[in-house]
Amino acid sequence: MAISRARTQMRPWRPGTTDAGVETWTSPAPGGPGVASPALRPASSFGPASSPPQETSLGPLPPTRSEPPTRPLPPTRPLPPTRPWERPPVPDRRYRPGLDGLRALAIIGVLLYHAGVGWAPGGLLGVDLFFVVSGFLITSLLIAELQNAGRIGLGAFYRRRALRLLPALAVVLFVTAAMIGTFWPQEVARFRGDLVASFGYVTNWWFIVRHESYFIASGRPSPFQHLWSLALEEQFYLVWPLALILLRRHLTTRRGLVQVAGLALAGACASAGVMAAIAVEHNLPYGADSSRVYFGTDTHAFGLLIGVAAAALLAATAGALWQRSPAPRVALGMDLAGVAALAAICWAMMKATEFSPGLYRGGFFAFSLMAGVAVVAVSRPGSRLEPALGSRTLRWVGTRSYGLYLWHWPIFVFTRPQLDLPLTGIPDLVLRLALVVALAEASYRLVEKPIRSVGFKVWLGGVLLRMSRAGEQLEAGAALLRRSWENRSARPAPAPIAAVPAATDRPRRAIPAGQLFMAASVTVSILLLAGTSSHRATPPPGWSIRLAYHIAAGISSSQAPAKEAARPAGPSPTPAHQPAAAAPGSTAAAPPTVPAGSIPGAPQGAGSIPGAPQGAVSSPGAPQGAASTGPQASVAFDIINTLAGSDHLGSDVVLHIGTNGTIQPSALDAVLARMGTRRVVLLSVHVPRPWQDLNNRILAEAAHNRPNVHLVDWNAAASAHPEWLWPDGIHLRPEGAAAYRDLIEGALK
């Protein structure tokens, strides 16, 4: 018996043949022909035929059918694909540690800016860095989905976004609403609209319509104010996938992707151009509040669009950047560009301020371009920047950046130094940051990470189950306490087992406190939204107006009602406008059309320090005053012009402006020119706000070379005597008001 294994020569298939390119097994019987059967594994149709292996024979083999030799085909290469979905799948590089490092840099800047750290006045630019990273990631995911699946699933995209963003946001909103309703019920009516706008992701436009300032505020700001950026991003998420679907035919070629990148850059330039045009027209930030262009989707979308352009350009060069590293010179150039961009980002965060005019005239746009360069440099394979930005510490901060951003502002609003907490400086900063980090970590571990791991339904089921078990345990505990109270006079006996429900016989897992607190917050916030709170904000009396006029007329502040003068500062709603009344002994009354309001020193907001109206006052010989709650010095200038036009200004004018916002130099020069030969007393500004030094420089320059203008350095006097001020560092105590009056009287002598 002979057993042999023979492999036929491989050749191209021709019509009429059935054994081309297959492996055959031959098991001949003694003295008979073998029977061939096709093997289960076909041979390759490219390349030369393989030579048959050496046979091991136990005897002579019978003759087999001979095949004419054929010349093998030369090796061929497949044609390159012409459409993205025909290409090999793009390697999965959704997680890029370097981008977490950029997120960490962004959130650190925002935290330092909102904490009032002096060496990071430009930390607000961290929001623009977030915008660029978000636009890049979202566009990269959508393009990858289109390339691999040939379509973009809108439903799946929106569902992923909702699961990523909504649960953690809902917890923050519920907890914040519960805090307001419990500890600050007088603020419920003020913040209810902000809460509803936050649920609808329209916070930015809500603040624009209500003319609420992001940069200038007195009293307690809205704890939902920081959600304007999330609203802007969500509005982008709603529109951009639809735009990509309309442009999907342009995404099938590299040329089309480059065109999409160009279109995104054009949109970014248009958005920045609108911001610059409004800034020039209204002389932002001096002539008016710049919150409109900062909040607006139309004026602040360029960061997201620059991220879109970066993602489209990388997708267009996928073969060069994503599947293999670029040439050494190109890689080195990209790394150097990334280092320069990161240096520019850090420098801008340390030098720029929200009152830098250049920011609104292209500065935000230039910063976003630098952020786009950094994103591209970090995202490419083999980047030398990724190990540094992807370090363990930065990745930890970056993965929790969303929770840090959500929680930091409510914590800062509710823990103001020397107002809500008896702390200042480093201890206050450490405590506030510790609270923010703890809550963000709890949100990450209890909400964000579990939902991404097991899904929303499973997570919600677990929360409800734990809440149910908590209810059972509370009910059992209440039953035990009730029985103990009823039998308090009897001999103590072991607690009856029957009092515990049967469902509690099995071991129970400890219920996370965070989930129980979240459940309680949901209930409280629903009651808050329903308007069940009976507390309403009551406007305080106009004591500060009377105090201002007493000081303006040279009357001691002690003559004001004692209860009013000694009232401490604290957050409360701004009083309604009311006509200004002349001080006792005045010879003329202010025009009835001049608005008047509270002076800082009042519990809520003001135009100036108590004792200095937000407008102009005459000398003690002809006491006349005006006050306004206008947030900008431009309102005071309007009042002065009104008083001057109606001949209500005396020979001496005291002007204290700039406490609540920036001063426009040209407007101040125009007002001083209108004073003519009148003696004008300007007072410097003492306010722990970024615009203090800027306004004091403007006031000093205005008083220079004007012999009729005298500058009183109130900032130096108040800094030397902090006991004159209430803990917020702005509002005056009675002794401070007396010293303030003495300074003005000394300047007028």
Q: For the chain, give every domain's residue range.
A: 1-59, 109-415+424-456, 543-748
For the stretch 519-577, pLDDT in tens is 444 434 443 444 433 333 333 333 333 333 333 333 333 333 333 333 333 333 333 33
Q: Which residue has the higher pLDDT, 596 or 151?
A: 151
Question: Where residue 18 falls among pLDDT bands split at 50, 70, 90?
Answer: very low
Report residue 64's pLDDT band, with 50, 70 and 90 as the boundaries: low
Say if residue 502's pLDDT is above 50: no
- In the predicted structure, residue 464 carries a pLDDT above the cut 60: yes
For residue 285, is the peptide bond before it cis, meaning its omega torsion is within 30 degrees of 0? yes
Q: What is the pLDDT of residue 531?
A: 41
pLDDT digits (tens, 9 = 90+) for 85-118: 444 444 445 578 899 999 999 999 999 999 988 8
Indicate if the pLDDT at residue 138 is higher than 90: yes
| Predicted confidence (pLDDT) at residue 690 exceeds the cutoff of 60 | yes
Q: Strand 709-712 relative to strand 652-655: parallel, antiparallel, unpaired?
A: unpaired
**Greatest extent of the chain over all pairs of C-alpha atoms, in Å:** 141
Task: pLDDT band for 455, please (50, 70, 90 cuts).
Answer: low
Region 163-173: mean pLDDT is 93
- Tens digit of each residue's pLDDT (9 = 90 or more) over 400-435: 999 999 999 999 999 988 888 888 889 999 999 999
Per-residue confidence at 480, pLDDT binned at 50, 70, 90?
A: confident
The answer, yes or no, to whether residue 618 has pLDDT greater than 70, is no
Decide if pLDDT at 309 tops 80.
yes
Cα dihedral 294, 296, 299, 304, rounded to 10, equals 90
Check pLDDT > 90 for residue 589: no
Sequence length of the chain is: 749
Higher local confidence (pLDDT), 10 or 125: 125
| Whole-number average pLDDT of the chain | 73
Cα 330 from chain centre? 34
Q: What CA–CA distance (Å, rounded) separates 35 from 40?
A: 16
The highest-confidence range among 99-108, 385-394, 715-724, by mean pLDDT, is: 99-108
Instruction: Tell me which of 40 and 449 has the higher pLDDT.
Output: 449
Structure-token pair, residue 27: 């098991």
- pLDDT of residue 452 exceeding 60: yes
Q: Reply yes or no on whether the pLDDT at 65 is more than 70.
A: no
pLDDT tens for each residue of 70-91: 666 555 555 555 444 444 444 4
What is the average per-residue pLDDT within 254-277? Answer: 94
Give the percent of the chain with pLDDT over 90: 34
- Per-residue confidence band for 638, with pLDDT thresholds at 50, 70 and 90: confident
CA distances from 459 to 75, 118, 172, 175, 703 (A): 55, 42, 17, 19, 65
pLDDT at 143 over 60: yes
Between residues 644 and 735, the one the model is more confident about = 735
Burial 82-119 (b: 16+ CB within 10 A, else e): eebeeeeebeeeeebbbbbbbbbbbbbbbbbbbbbeee
What is the pLDDT at residue 348?
96
Cβ-Cβ contacts under 8 Å for 322 (sequence gap 6 or more): 90, 91, 93, 314, 381
Rounded-to-integer distance, Cα 472 and Cα 464, Å: 12
Render pLDDT for 327-351 as a digit per residue (tens, 0 to 9).
Answer: 788 888 889 999 999 999 999 999 9
Report for 124-128, 355-359, 632-636: range of highest mean pLDDT:
124-128
Would you state the pLDDT for residue 26?
Answer: 42
Model pLDDT for residues 206-248, shown as the tens digit of each residue: 999 999 989 887 678 999 999 999 999 999 999 999 999 988 8
What proportion of the chain, given as a percentage, has pLDDT over 70? 64
* Structural fold of domain 543-748: Rossmann fold (3.40.50)
The stretch 291-311 carries a mean pLDDT of 96
Is the pLDDT confidence value at 13 over 80? Answer: no
